[in-house]
Structures are given as C-alpha cells and as structure tokens.
Amino acid sequence: MKIKHGYMRRLAPTPEQTAALDDQSHAARAVWNLLHDWSTGHGRCLRPSVKDADNAIRQARKEVPWLAVVPAQAAQAVLKTYRRAWTNFFEGRAGPPEYKSRARSRAVVDIPQGRSLAVKRLNRRWAQLWVPKVGTVRFRWTGPIPGVGREPGRLTGARLVREAIGWHVVFRTEVVRADPAPHPGPMVGIDRGVTVALALSDGNDREHGPWMRPKEQERLLRLERAAARKWRAHMRGAPASKRLSRTYDQIAKLRARAKRRRTDWQHQTTTALANRYGVVVVEDLTIENMVRRPKPKPNPNRPGAFLKNRARVKAGLNRSMLNEAHTATVTMLAYKLAERGGTLIRVPARYTSQTCSQCGHRDPSFRKGIAFSCTSCGWIGHADTNAAINIHAAGRVVYGLLSPAPRGDEASRSNRRAA
C-alpha cells in the first residue's frame, strides 16, 4: 500500500527571502484570479482548455514583469489546482472556485517536483531546502521526513504556506509498505464532547487543558478590545489603518499558537488510540449543522417578541465545539487506523445520550448536564461515558458482533436497520 503524508516544518528565511516569498505568493494568487476571470467571463463558465490556459500563462509571464516572479512550475501548479477545483465542484465534492482576495486568502507557493528540493540536514535542529528563485532556505528539523537521508520513501513535492507566525513548508511524501495485518486490539466507543474531549467506553477518557495560558488569554482579550475600539474609529469604506492591522496580526499569532497546541494534542491522542484499539466506533456527527445559529423563539410573556439570550448562549456552545475540532480528530484517527490495520465505524448519534446503557430505557430527563441518572434501574454515572457505552454497543451490531446484553437500545435498533 502507498502511504501519502504531509510533514510541516517552520521556515527561517532571511528578510530578503521573506520578501521574495511574499512576491511569489501574490503573483500565484494573481494567476488564479486571472484564470477565474477568464473562465467565468460575462457570467458564463467558459472552461478554457489546459493547452490554451498554459499558453496564456506563459505569454503573461513574458509580458508582465511582476508575474514572472512566480516560477513556471508553480504557475502550472496553480492551473492544475484551479482545474481540480472545478472538477470537485461538478462532481459534488465542493463549492465552485472563488476569487481570492489579498486580505482573506492564504498565501501559498507550490513546488510540484520533489527532486528539485535538495533537502539536506545540517545539524540536530536545522536543515535546508532549495526554493526556486529564492535560494537555499533553512527550516527547523523537528523529526524525520521520508525520502530525506536514510529514511525510506520519497519526496513528491512541497508547498510553501504563510501562517500567522511565519512561513512554513509542507513536504508531500510517499512510502510503499506491505498491507498491514488486522489489528488485534479491542473495540472501543468514543463520545466526542465539550466537557470531556473524548469519552471512551472503557473509561480511559482523553482530556486536555485550555489551549491558551492565562496570561495569553488576558492578552487576547485586551487585544480584541483594542481592535474593537480602533474599528469603531475606523471610517467606513476606508482601508484598515496600520495600527489596526498590527493588532489583527497579534491576535492571529495568539490564535495560531493555540491551534498548533491543539493539533499536537490531536496527533498524539489519535496515535495512541490507533496503536491500542483495533476497532473504534464514533458518532456520525455533522458539525456544520450542530453549530448553526438557533431560530428565534417567541417570548411567551410578550406577544410578537422573541427571546434574545438563546443566540448568545448557543454562540458560546458553538465556539466551544469548534474549538475542539472534532472533525479533524476523526480524520486523523481514520487514516492512522487504516495504516495499522484497524477499522473506524460511524454510527448514528440519535438517542445515544438519552438512553441508559444498563437497562436500555430512554428518557430525555435522564441527562442533566454531565450527570446521567436512570429512574428505571437506578444507574448513575457520567453522561459522556454512558453515551460512549451506547456507541460501543451500536458499533458491535454494525461490525457483525452480537450485542453484549439483550436490551432495548434505540441506537442498536437504528443500526440494525441501517445494516
């Protein structure tokens, strides 16, 4: 089997190299926008051929000096990515390509050929690579990379990405390995939540602390208030001032640091779960639907009025759910299980948090916050653990195993119908 992975490392370019990378990213974004204008001119989807678009890009790089800053291979990679975006749209996997603005789009430069990278490790902490029209750029060496040195595999390309804390390089690698044997580990059910990040049916929950330290949270709040004050003094329609832009950059750096900590926890946690368990059962959740803004609820005391605090309370819950990034966690767990011979099962999430895992009776009043108390059999426990046990039972039915006990589990019955 071919295993393809991306390895991100932080670049340490000089000021001149940073300026060159910024110019290349702006030129690559301009190529995308020109292709988009050409393809959607006059409101119609023209879809020029690859040959015509490639010839137009070559001619533009000759006639326009600032477009010649982007390497020819990177410009061709923009064309390939743009064509793939239309293919994904027509096949129903994504929305249509859109115009990329300078303020909101991500600055990227693609290096499609891995043999031109010339990656070389310098010492324990540093390495270098070759970037076309920029030169040799150093990057932090934080772990082995397939295809570099004695590591098996090969580099298939790279992409330079500008994050809030600086430029990074993402190496695309490919490793050929034998098909893994079936994982001998046990089955476990996982309930994803906010109070407990990952509640496991066997009790080995996975939790984490806040992604930001107290001092960082105080600084973030102070910067957000400063940005709000500066925005109120900002003239409508005028570009943001340098002070406001600098405040936004500081906020982005703090949030990017928290995101890196969250991603590191997700990788460590999913790796440990994939090594220990052979079958992992999770709920088939649609996070986009769960974090929608609630509909206005009529106020019973004032006819024609609506309750105003519902949206505010739901907004806080939505932020907590998005801060956990449960979709990314399941994505990491899926490919890591596949590489180790494990299996990921998705079961419907309906009634898993309202059903007693011991007797099978269901009542919404059983759950009060994080406490679960069944009035039928008297079982008392953590609500997330109870849901994880129900998810585990539903996964046993989907996987083809018998239910651990004959009980009226609604989640199990729904999975029997789905199976």
394 CB-near residues (< 8 Å, 6+ apart): 189, 281, 347, 348, 352, 409, 411, 412, 414, 415
pLDDT at 401: 61
Task: State the number of CA atoms in the 13 A half-sphere of 198 facing the CB.
Answer: 24
Residue 41 DSSP one-character state: G
Task: Kindly report the backbone phi and psi dihedral angles of residue 9, in degrees, each rounded to the nearest multiple of 5, phi listed first.
Answer: -135, 150
Helix/strand/coil for 302: coil
pLDDT at 9: 95
pLDDT at 404: 42
Which segments within 57-119 are labelled E, that is strand?
108-111
pLDDT at 44: 67
pLDDT at 24: 95
Q: Residue 179 has which token pair?
A: 């098909």
What is the H or E stretch that residue 61 is in? helix 50-63
pLDDT at 414: 33
pLDDT at 122: 94
pLDDT at 406: 34
Considering the entire predicted model, what is its pTM?
0.83
pLDDT at 297: 73
Residue 337 to residue 300: CA distance in whole angstroms? 51
pLDDT at 379: 82
Q: Residue 408 has which token pair?
A: 């009226």
Low-confidence ranges of the chain (pLDDT < 50): 402-419
The identity of residue 254, as a single letter, is L
pLDDT at 235: 78
Helix/strand/coil for 47: coil
Q: Helices marked H in 172-325 — which ranges?
A: 214-232, 242-276, 287-290, 309-324
Q: Which residue has the tokens 């900590």?
A: 261
pLDDT at 116: 86
The contacts found for 176-182 with CB under 8 angstroms, 24 or more apart, are 176/1, 176/2, 176/3, 177/1, 177/3, 178/1, 179/1, 180/1, 180/339, 180/340, 180/341, 181/341, 182/278, 182/341
Residue 53 to residue 60: CA distance in whole angstroms? 10
The identity of residue 252, as a single letter, is A
CA 222 to chain centre: 27
58 CB-near residues (< 8 Å, 6+ apart): 72
